[in-house]
Amino acid sequence: MSISVDLRSVVDAIAPARTVTVLTGAGMSAESGVPTFRDVQTGLWARYDPMTLATPEAWDDDPALVWAWYQRRRAMVTAVEPNDGHRALAGWARSADIRVMTQNVDDLHERAGSTEVVHVHGSLFACRCDTCGRAYEPEVVDLDTDRIDPPECDCGGLVRPGVVWFGEALPQNAFAEATARAEAADVFVLVGTSGVVYPAAGLPHIARAAGATIIEINPHETDLSDACDITIRSTAAVAIPAIVDACTS
Ligand code: OAD
């Protein structure tokens, strides 16, 4: 896919910037082949609605089912690689103040070399006890079964996925840091998000109110497109490397 905008306007916006904050969504990982909720729903999982699995009620009702589903998603993410967009962002941060935050629960930014990534919706790889909150590292297994008993914590609680479920509050520290990064941005780049899930979708508005230039990278128009100063109708793995190349060469 080509880039539909003259990069000159992007370079002119980024050149004088001290801080560039980047918020990514599911589209960032699309070219890595990370399955969305629906893609996971094949074979054994076709009969389950992802929107009901990613809820506290599902966990209370059938923790073994929910744990197995997240084990499958962890295994599917582990089986793919970061794409050129992830890698370009990580490389850019070695020569500029690039602050990455993501709505994604995969670890592809980290595996591409980005550090201090803020996960506003948690992470598949940061499990915790559902009772005392103790952190646990999940092992990655891909048993083709729809029930796996979650590990038990020493306190008697169950180890749950460290992701934000529908109806749950965002991790306070993560969202506070994300807000600070939005306020600190001279340029705020939105990559691969439909911008429909708040409060994360409010971050570009915070950046704009603080005077940032907003750039959107998305092959399609979104609910946030009108709030952006520059929209690049291209994909993450094509547009980000082109922008980094134009800004650093
Ligand atoms: P969505 O699936 O809502 O939107 C993905 C966006 O990526 C769409 O706007 C696509 O046009 C765009 N897109 C697709 N392929 C792309 C590519 N190769 N490069 C760039 N963009 C591409 O995903 P999110 O906006 O991330 O919340 O969804 C936000 C939240 O909704 C998720 O974090 C999740 C979900 O409920 C929780 O899990 C709490």
Residue 37: per-residue pLDDT: 62
pLDDT per position as a tens digit, 114-159? 999 999 999 999 999 999 999 999 888 878 888 999 999 999 999 9
How is the chain split into domains, by residue range? 1-33+82-120+170-249, 35-79+122-163
What are 90-96's contacts with CB under 8 Å, separation 24+?
90/114, 91/244, 92/20, 92/244, 92/247, 92/248, 95/248, 96/20, 96/247, 96/248
Which CA distances in Å does 169 have to 51, 86, 133? Answer: 16, 27, 15
Per-residue confidence in pLDDT tens, the chain, 249 aa:
556 567 999 999 999 999 999 999 999 999 999 976 666 677 777 788 888 899 999 999 999 999 999 999 999 999 999 999 999 999 999 999 999 999 999 999 999 999 999 999 999 999 999 999 999 998 888 788 889 999 999 999 999 999 999 999 999 999 999 999 999 999 999 999 999 889 999 999 999 999 999 999 999 999 999 999 999 999 999 999 999 999 998
Is 161 a pocket residue for ligand 1 (Cβ < 6 Å)? no
Residue found under tokens 């089912």: 65
Report the nearest atom of ligand 1 relative to the CA of 194: 9
User: What's the pLDDT at 39?
Assistant: 63
Q: Which residues pair with 24 in a beta bridge?
A: 102, 191
Mean pLDDT across the chain: 93
Give the residue whose CA is nearest to atom 13 of ligand 1.
Answer: 27
Cβ of 103 below 6 Å from ligand 1: yes
Which tokens is 66 given?
């929910």
Query: Which atom of ligand 1 is least distant from the CA of 165?
Result: 39
Instruction: Answer whether 106 contacts ligand 1 (Cβ < 6 A).
Output: no
Active-site residue (options: 86, 109, 119, 121):
121
Would the CATH topology of 1-33+82-120+170-249 be identical to that of 35-79+122-163? no
Number of the ligand 1 atom closest to the C-alpha atom of 24: 26
* Second CATH level (architecture) for the domain 35-79+122-163: 2-Layer Sandwich (3.30)
Atom 8 of ligand 1: nearest residue by CA position:
194
For a mutational test of ligand 1's pocket, the pick from 193, 216, 217, 231, i.e. the residue with the most ligand atoms closer than 8 A to its C-beta, is 193
Question: What would the pLDDT profile of 149-172 be if each residue is shown by its tens digit?
Answer: 999 999 999 999 999 999 999 999
Q: Which atom of ligand 1 is nearest to the CA of 1?
A: 18
CA of 96 to the centre of ligand 1 (A): 26
Give residue 63 CA to ligand 1 midpoint distance, Å. 26
**Degrees to nearest 5, angle at CA 29 with 25 and 30:** 105
Catalytic, 121? Answer yes
Whole-number pLDDT of residue 249: 84
Q: How far is CA 246 from CA 24, 111, 174, 199, 243, in A?
A: 20, 24, 31, 32, 5
- Give pLDDT, residue 206: 98
- Is the Cα dihedral 57, 60, 64, 67 positive or negative? positive
Q: What pLDDT sits at residue 74?
A: 93
CATH of 1-33+82-120+170-249, one of 3.40.50.1220, 3.40.50.2300, 2.70.98.90, 3.40.50.300: 3.40.50.1220
